Amino acid sequence: MFNRRQFIGTIPISAVAWGAIGGHQPAQSQDSGRPVKQDSSKDDSGLIASPPVIQNPRPDGFGISIAVNEFATAWVEYGFAADDLPFTAVASHHGLICADQQALHIRVDHDQPFPITASIYYRVMVQPLGYKNAYVLERGKAESTDTYTLRLPSADSNRIRIVSINDTHENLDTIKQLHREIEKLNPDLLIWNGDSCNDFDAADSPEQILLNPARDLSMSWASRRPLVFSNGNHDVRGQRSREVNKIMVGAPESAQLPYNQSLRLGPLSLITLDTGEDKPDRHPVFAGTAAYEPYRARQATWLKQVLQQPEHRDSRWKVVACHIPLRGLDGQNDGTTLDGYASYSGFGARLWLPILKDAGTKAVLSGHMHADRLDPASDDMPICQFVGGGPKPEQATLTIVDAVQDKDQSALDIRIVDLQGKVLHQQTWN
């Protein structure tokens, strides 16, 4: 965390333009993989190419990613009133302020935990950067997002609402309808549970697919609430898939396990696991580029350690999100052979389900199958599994998790609903 006055004293004033240039936000399209003008009354020369996307919430901080249209730097101004943003956060690496021509990520690290009742007000400032040579740098006019209000979920809260979506696969109609439903439900946290895309080939624009999925800068499902990105098998496919982790930036605690989150959210513990690809590493389609089997084994070691931590060991409710289901139906492919592809992750099931069972996990949230279902708990496997729907509007679902624990009530309710709000599956624990 930086105080603005301290920050200006550290960096030459010519390097940063502090004036807010009121939220210039041109409409976007990704049909061609790049932003284009959709409204002739607006120009398309703006720097800002996506809404801000909040990620990786922690008691004393959060990250923000934003897409840009040209080489630029960015910083975040924030505070506790809309008209007073006294704190500034910048992104730097080994002393060099971060710059990029596609997307930038800024981590806000406050010097103490945010108060549970605090509304955080923030805006992202973006400023172009040009190099004539190593000693002649040019800075253009800075642009600002709107000022947003953010509430971070807290371990001290007595209730939490989480909404999980999955398998959007760039379906614009579905994404816009999901956005509207998310706004109605107003969750404290959003999970994007894998398969944001069909693949990330050379012609694709990962920063637009991930940060501006509705192709409309006014539609942001994660500017006022944090988003947890849970990797899917399609998200790791294609030439540009390796760019994803600089856009959907992983957990700050571990570069080796970026999509493993362990969050205490009120009475609930949320754990995310990365199921990886739906075929064995040795499958010829990967041409020797897959190493998911040792990656899943490292996650098993991490999972044991996390579930032994007091904040998770003592939580009333434990819920896991991972893209590929960990339980299958009779006769389904588990993805451990060269035949076909996984309907459920046999690799993940063998490594993780025994640990989750011993820890008293209540539910797994997944997707992948493009068909919603609820797999009830059984004596052998006392963990419910909620499988979300698919990318078409008639398949699409939202999985809603409500947990409350106070002197009057203690309950966990998980339900899958369609885009009209109809409850398709539901399970409640008291």
pLDDT (mean) for 365-381: 96
Q: What is the CATH classification number for the domain harbouring 420? A: 3.60.21.10
- Report pLDDT for 325: 98
- Report pLDDT for 272: 98
Identify the weakest region by mean pLDDT among 103-107, 115-119, 302-306: 115-119
Query: Which of 99, 118, 150 is the last residue in one of the domains?
Result: 150
Residue 262 — pLDDT band, cuts 50, 70, 90?
A: very high
Q: Are residues 9 and 34 in the same domain?
A: yes
Q: Are residues 82 and 32 in the same domain?
A: yes
Q: Is the pLDDT of residue 35 over 80?
A: no
Tell me the per-residue pLDDT of 227-248, one tens digit each, with 9 for 90 and over: 999 999 999 999 999 999 999 9
| DSSP string for residues in 14-77 | GG---S--TT-------TTSS-----TTS-S--SB-S--EEEEEETTEEEEEEEBSSSEEEEEE
> Strand 143-144 vs strand 87-90: parallel, antiparallel, or unpaired?
unpaired
Residue span of the structural domain in which 172 resides: 159-429
- Report pLDDT for 16: 40
Type of residue numbered 261: Q
Q: Are residues 84 and 125 in the same domain?
A: yes
- Report pLDDT for 118: 87
Tell me the per-residue pLDDT of 410-426, one tens digit each, with 9 for 90 and over: 999 999 999 999 999 99
* Selection from 150, 154, 91 nearest residue 122 by Cα: 150
Average pLDDT in the chain: 90
Q: Are residues 357 and 215 in the same domain?
A: yes
- Report pLDDT for 268: 97
Q: Is the pLDDT of residue 313 over 80?
A: yes
Q: Are residues 296 and 229 in the same domain?
A: yes
| Number of domains the chain is built from | 2
Q: What is the percent of the chain where pLDDT is above 70? A: 90
- Report pLDDT for 338: 97
Residue 44 — pLDDT band, cuts 50, 70, 90?
A: low
CA dist., res. 399 & res. 320, Å (int): 13
- Report pLDDT for 37: 32
Tell me the per-residue pLDDT of 274-308, one tens digit each, with 9 for 90 and over: 999 999 999 999 999 999 999 999 999 999 999 99
Q: What is the CATH classification number for the domain harbouring 57? A: 2.60.40
Q: Percentage helix, strand, coil, to 5, in the chain?
A: 20, 30, 50
Q: Are residues 229 and 291 in the same domain?
A: yes
Q: Is the pLDDT of residue 263 over 80?
A: yes
- Report pLDDT for 45: 59
Q: Is the pLDDT of residue 51 over 70?
A: yes
Q: Is the pLDDT of residue 333 over 90?
A: yes
